[in-house]
Structure 1
Amino acid sequence: MKRVLILFLLASGVLSFIAISLEGIPVQEPPAHSQKIKIFLDLAGENELISLAKEQLLEAFNKIENIDVVEEIGEGVSYVVSVVLVEARAGTDRQKTGNIAACIQYIDYFDNSILKSDVAVSNWARVDNLTENLIEHSQTGLHLFPKSDLENVTNRVVSKFQTLFLEKEK
Structure 2
Amino acid sequence: MAKLAAFNLKTWIDEHRQLLKPPVGNALIWKDTEFQVMVIGGPNRRTDYHIDPSEELFYQIEGDIVLRVIEDGKPRDIPIREGDIFLLPPLVPHCPVRPAGTVGMVIERLRKPHETESLRWYCERCGEILHDATLHIYDLGTQLKPVIENFYASESLRTCKKCGAVTQPPPPVR
Instruction: Judging by fraction of residues, say which structure has more strand.
Output: 2
Between Structure 1 and Structure 2, whose CA radius of gyration is higher? 1
Q: TM-score, normalised by structure 1?
A: 0.29
Q: TM-score, normalised by structure 2?
A: 0.29
